[in-house]
Amino acid sequence: MFEDGICEVVEGYYTKTIKFSDINYQIARRDEKENIFSKYCQFLNYFDASIPFQITINNRVINRDDFRDQMLLKNKEDNLKDFRDEYNVMLYEKSREGHNSVIREKYITFGTMAKDYEASKPLLSRLSMDILNNFKSLGCDTEELSGIQRLEILHGILNKDTDKLNFEYDYLVRSDLKTKDFIAPDSFDFRNKSTFEFGEKIGRVMYLKDLPPELSDKLLSELSDIPVNMTITLHINSVEQDKAFDLVKQKISFMEQQKIDEQKKAQKSGYDSDMIPYELKYSLAEAEELLDDLQNKNQRMFKATILIFTSANSDEELDENVYQILSTARKNNCKIGYLDYLQEEGLNSTLLLGHNFVEIQRTLTTASTAIFIPFTTQELFQKGGMYYGLNALSRNLIFFDRKTLKNANGFILGTPGSGKSFTAKREMVNVLLNTDDEVMIIDPESEYSYLVEGFGGEVINVSSASNVNINPLDITMNYADDEDPLSLKAEFILSLCELLIGGRNGITASEKTIIDRAVRLTYAPHFSNPKKYPVPTLVDFYEVLKKQPEQEAEAIALSLELYVKGSLGVFAKPTNIDINNRLVCFDIRDLGKQLRTMGMLIVLDQIWNRITQNRAIGKRTWIYMDEIYLLFQNEYSANFLFELYKRARKWGAIPTGITQNVEDLLISDLARRMLSNSDFIIMMNQATTDRLELAQLLNISNEQLGYVTNANEGQGLLFSGNSIIPFIDKFPTNTNLYRMMTTKPDEIRLDKDESYEKAL
């Protein structure tokens, strides 16, 4: 095995392996399913007879240490240890709820003959490119594996779960050892008929023997759902079209001859000459159909070997594994045979080397090969990701890192009580426990303070009654990056004015011009000499407006008056809050209905200032905006939000809008655009009309819609990049974290639960 991932399997034969992610095939819409299937057929047809390939589905049962390593939150120097422990117990319990201890990975290994290693490189790299493109068009993520990665997989199959591969390519230079020596277990014993021992383990390789005439595409997916150590292998080699014809024709003429013999026999015995054995009749029909497929239906012929390898620590465990595999096959009308006296060949063919040592092959057409489609359900499991519940289909943990998305902006949508806020809080908890990022919340319903205080965050009560002041005219120099900061600010003030002036037609063109001018005039002194002139306030803006000659200016000033001079002065004075906590919640409930939207906008702008500062020190900021539909109720605030969402990525911000009013959201064109451009959406239970609209907007299949129809709290669909994953989360209610996250009044108690304490 070379360092770049090329392996010389037998002399002159070189292979490479590509890992590919799953896509949602089993729950895809019918037309989508057909589309995937036909693309997969095309993909199979791409391989000619000189390129044998092997598809592998590798199920690994992970051990506790691995699990801890990959998923549990690492402790940090802060005072959140208790929460981290509680969260980790939760994760651990969840992982045992389903098949989660199984990691399922899929690979394709392909090879070519070449003069030597150097000569194989360009050949393989061209193949590799084509294969990657094919997978891409199917929607899979792919990764070409390096030598170390390939060795790790082989090592994993051949050794105990706890053993780690200890190998670096430098080791080869200093010794006579080969890469093989580093992955092999201590011993192999192949003396038994249908099992073999390796290291301290025992294994069995089986093969798919009989296929029913109508095989369903579920076989592979159901097999791979079995939560045991198992490797499913498909060795596929295309047959040259000429040879395929010859083969079939030969077979047909052989059977024709047999038929004539049978007819003669029947006549002799005095029966009707049509009396030929059913088997023969059937085979002949099948062969004729095959010939027709090859000639007319863009089908090719393949030779395929399908192997299933499972391993265990004891005979009993192995029997149990085998039993599960056999019964799943039986359910699909397939028969499985043991590879008697061929266990070694079986094992070698199972390893991801791209070489088939077993000569039991079946002849299949493209379509019948494609029935063994390796796609089932997409899993979302990223190292270093955050917990988002269990995959409702596979019951596997969903671990996902929003920061890996091109655009991490997101939405959480659902009917009241479906668990939106809870989902947001769970994500925040994860951010707080596992990163150094900041979390800013706009909280119109006063739902988050309990959690925020519990985590030592700061709750800022924005209301006319509190003595908090926020100046909407605050501006930092890098407010708008390379663009003119004043333009963005003017945009913002416009949206504010529109809220204040309201009216059905919003702001007129001339009003817009006046406001824009007034904004620039208001900031002029500050920008000319920031030391002498502090940041202006709404009062200054008001004064500037009053000085403008137009009548409209007077009118705008008048509508501002209440906020500048009246009792609602929260936003008229210099800001007197100082955000120096990584977790801040702006509670705007007490602003009342009238001011809430405005409050939301101003707070959002304030948070934007914070983001610009955070970016300067390389810190990321998560923003949560509950009841975000408020901002979409008028054009300018929607626009402001839209601009923020657009800029967020560049600024290291991760905004999440939350709303139960999907209908209101869907009325706004901007909101629709934002939704369809968001790489991250969590959809909880939906009302009927919203559901149908969303389905159209986001391309959701009926099967998928089922997960947001009468769904329980904490259940729904997770959209991330290209994937749509049904999830389910039941956060344990006997935890302090739950008590801090719930909004059910009778559950908000902080008394500790004995049983959970013990589990820690």
The residue ranges that bind ligand ATP (CB under 6 A) are: 414, 416-422, 660, 713-714, 729-731, 742-744
CB of 310 to ligand ATP, least distance (A): 35
Residue 730's binding partner among Mg ion, ligand ATP, none (Cβ under 5 to 8 angstroms by kind) is: ligand ATP
CB of 288 to ligand ATP, least distance (A): 57
Residue 634's binding partner among ligand ATP, Mg ion, none (Cβ under 5 to 8 angstroms by kind) is: none
Q: Reduce the DSSP state of residue 620 to 3 states and report it.
A: coil
Single out the residue of 247, 229, 230, 225 nearest to residue 238, CA to CA.
Answer: 247
Q: How far apart are CA 262 and CA 256, in angstroms?
A: 10
Residue 457's binding partner among Mg ion, ligand ATP, none (Cβ under 5 to 8 angstroms by kind) is: none
Residue 60's binding partner among ligand ATP, Mg ion, none (Cβ under 5 to 8 angstroms by kind) is: none
Q: 446: phi > 0 → left, psi -120 to 50 → alpha, else beta; which? A: left
| Stretch in the footprint of Mg ion (CB under 5 A) among 35-43, 280-288, 419-427, 551-559 | 419-427
CB of 388 to ligand ATP, least distance (A): 10
How many CA within 13 A on the CB side of residue 539? 13
Q: 142: phi > 0 → left, psi -120 to 50 → alpha, else beta; which? A: beta
CB of 656 to ligand ATP, least distance (A): 13
Type and span of the H or E element at 362: strand 362-365
Q: Reduce the DSSP state of residue 55 to 3 states and report it.
A: strand
Nearer residue to ligand ATP within complex by CB, 345 or 713: 713
Residue with tokens 């999830």: 727
Pairing of strands 362-365, 386-391: unpaired
**Rounded to an integer, what is the distance from CA 421 to the centroid of its chain?**
21
Residues making up the chain, counted from first to last: 760
Residue with tokens 């949508």: 413
Query: Which residue type is seen at 155?
Result: H
Nearer residue to ligand ATP within complex by CB, 346 or 714: 714
CB of 444 to Mg ion, least distance (A): 10
Residue 492's binding partner among ligand ATP, Mg ion, none (Cβ under 5 to 8 angstroms by kind) is: none
| Stretch in the footprint of Mg ion (CB under 5 A) among 40-48, 132-140, 173-181, 417-425 | 417-425
How many chain residues interact with Mg ion (CB under 5 A)? 1
Q: Which two tokens stand for residue 454?
A: 């519990």
Type and span of the H or E element at 183: helix 179-183
| Stretch in the footprint of Mg ion (CB under 5 A) among 137-145, 397-405, 418-426, 568-576 | 418-426
Nearer residue to Mg ion within complex by CB, 692 or 748: 748
Q: How far apart are CA 458 and CA 453, in angstroms?
A: 7
Q: Does 421 bind Mg ion (CB under 5 A)?
A: yes
| Stretch in the footprint of Mg ion (CB under 5 A) among 416-424, 545-553, 595-603, 639-647 | 416-424
- The backbone torsions φ and ψ at residue 550, rounded to the nearest 5 degrees and listed phi first, read -70, 150
Residue 104's binding partner among ligand ATP, Mg ion, none (Cβ under 5 to 8 angstroms by kind) is: none
Query: Which residue type is seen at 743?
Result: T
How many CA within 13 A on the CB side of residue 307? 34
Q: Quick one: how many helices (H) and strands (E) in the chain? A: 27, 23
Residue 714's binding partner among ligand ATP, Mg ion, none (Cβ under 5 to 8 angstroms by kind) is: ligand ATP
CB of 626 to Mg ion, least distance (A): 6
Q: How far apart are CA 49 and CA 303, in angstroms?
A: 10
Nearer residue to ligand ATP within complex by CB, 511 or 626: 626
Nearer residue to ligand ATP within complex by CB, 475 or 708: 708
Which residue minimizes CB distance to Mg ion? 421
| Stretch in the footprint of Mg ion (CB under 5 A) among 200-208, 414-422, 649-657, 684-692 | 414-422
CB of 697 to ligand ATP, least distance (A): 20
Longest dimension (CA), the chain: 120
CB of 460 to ligand ATP, least distance (A): 20
CB of 684 to ligand ATP, least distance (A): 6
Q: Which residues bind Mg ion (CB under 5 A)?
A: 421
